[in-house]
Structure 1
Amino acid sequence: MRLRRAVAPLALCAGLAVGLTACAADPDEGTNGVGKLSASEIEGKALSAADTAKAVRLSGTLVSKGDTFKLNMRLKQNGATGSVTTKNSTFELLRVGDALYLKADAGFWSHETQGDDKPTEADAEAADKLDDKYVKVPQGDPSYKQLRGFTDMALLIDGLIGLHGEKVKGDRDQIGGVRTVKVRGGADGEGGTLDVALEGSPYPLRLARGGGAGLVVLSEWNKDFPLTAPSKEETLDYGKQLPRT
């Protein structure tokens, strides 16, 4: 009984000590330290990390000039591969250096080449031949620049990450199990909200664009992947100017 009475106060003291230690724990312990920086400094660190990266996966939605695009692209400095979905269709893009290829199903080619006109039998046959084949986009084609934009890592990252308005540091969060700190453009995030990794390199991991202009997730930073031009058997010539998508 005496031993029990002596141990009880010691246990209580130990519990209080642990509680006080936990309350005083540094929230940045075990992180890369960017959470201690100002909002503008955190954004700068994220931009620098992204600029020096060699590869990334970008997935999510972008809204531009009233059009919504759903992207799932793996990007690196010399090319990219992935898919783009618009209101009416889905197509795949593959870029190796400056060579850009587009692949879609017969429905895409039939719809895009005819618009509101009813496809002829010859048109249907042509679309069937293009079904699930790569079409090399000529660099002089008006669609080349637009389609290449979806495969340009530097262009996409630089165009997406910048926040507008006064930078404000927000709450902590987790993206894919990685701790992050938020940076907002404006007090309410009207200029966009960026989640920056607190573990490892301070890569940007998620961006909610201002004005409801889309939400994208950035993952697999620096994870390399193969890029190979399709074989001749996988490629067909469209034979005329590609449709504007």
Structure 2
Amino acid sequence: MTAIALGRTRRTSLVSAVCALVVTGTGLLAGCSEDPDAGTNGVGKLPADKIQSKTRAAAESAEAVRLAGTVVTNGRTYTLDMRLKSGGGSGSVTSKGVAFGLLRIGEQLYLKAGAEFWNHADGNTSAGGALDGKYVKVPQGDPSYKKFSGFTDKDVLLDGLLTLHGALATDGHHEQAGTRTIRITGDKGSGGTLDVSLEGTPYPLRLERAGGAGTLTFSSWGKDFPLTEPKKNETVDYGRKLPTS
């Protein structure tokens, strides 16, 4: 816990203790009911649908973001740690205990993995050795391009993730990594939950997807990062259809 968050917790505890002890004939002393939205960006006072629209707008307008956590799709769990911006993205993905890296610059997508990935994918141990640690160009016409490029596309990924299902409602004030948040839910949580920052821009900070389809945290909003083309001696063409799992 950060020093700021610790100080806030101690202050809140002290106020609660004082208010519990000091009462008047009409109830607690004035000021003992601390406003949880005091000093915030104000979105905590809005209806859930307004909070959702504001946090989606904030996410769409941000230049970059880092997201980490799990996504369950088609019965398979992917663990992601990706940095994304409008021009592409980079990071790592793990599925079934095997990790691989993704790098997209513009329309060009690269996949980088160890021999274990390639051996697991097609059973060709000689191919795995040749491709070990190399950036493999993924052709746009290959089925794997659409599947893997989605992990590197900020707009596509966030549009699909930042949607709660069912009736929206607020679910109290919380904290994520030392930042105060307001939580909104879909269908009382069964349709997903989203923690939205109450400090500064109302960015989404933590998402629990509906139906246990994964949990993600969002950070480094608006912080740019470099996307660098791999060197020629680090790049190879696979030469046939790439694996999609």
If the length of structure 1 is used for normalisation, what is the TM-score?
0.87
Aligned partners of 1:91 and 1:145: how far apart in 2?
A: 16
C-alpha displacement at 1:28, in angstroms? 1.1
2:18 counterpart residue number: none
AA aligned opposite 1:46: T
Change (3 A) 1:169 1:148: same
User: Which residue matches 1:81?
Assistant: 90
Q: Which AA in structure 1 matches 2:169?
A: V
- Correspondence list, 1:19-30, <5 A: 20-30=29-39
The question of 1:42 aligning with 2:43 is answered no
Secondary structure class of the residue paired with 1:43: helix
Shift of 1:110: 1.2
1:1-245 alignment, distance < 5 Å: 20-114=29-123, 123-187=124-188, 189-245=189-245
Q: Residues 45-89 of structure 1, C-alpha deviation per residue, up to 9 Å, x if partnerless? A: 111111111100011101111111111100001100001111142
Deviation readout 1:111-133 (Å, 9 max, x if unpaired): 2112xxxxxxxx43331121111
Which 5+ residue runs of structure 1 have no aligned equivalent?
1-14, 115-122
Q: What's the TM-score once normalised by structure 2's chain length?
A: 0.87
Question: Distance between the aligned counterparts of 2:30 and 2:200, measured in 1?
Answer: 26
The residue identity in structure 2 corresponding to 1:82 is G
Please tell me the residue identity of whatever aligns with 2:122. T
AA partner of residue 220 (structure 1): S
C-alpha separation in 2, matches of 1:44 and 1:244? 34
SS at match of 1:23: coil
Instruction: Report the CA distance between 1:25 and its aligned residue.
Output: 3.1
Q: Distance in 2 between matches of 1:243 and 1:162?
A: 29
Kindly indicate whether the alpha-carbon contact (under 8 Å) linking 2:36 and 2:173 is maintained by their aligned counterparts in 1: no
Amino acid at match of 1:142: P
Contact 2:80 2:93 in 1 (8 A): yes
- How many residues of Structure 1 are paired with residues of Structure 2 in the alignment? 222
Which amino acid counterpart does residue 211 of structure 1 have in structure 2? G
Runs of 4+ deviating beyond 3 Å: none
- Root mean square deviation, CA, Å: 1.7
Gaps of 5+ in 2: 1-20
Larger radius of gyration: 1
Residue type of the alignment partner of 2:229? A
Identical columns (%): 55
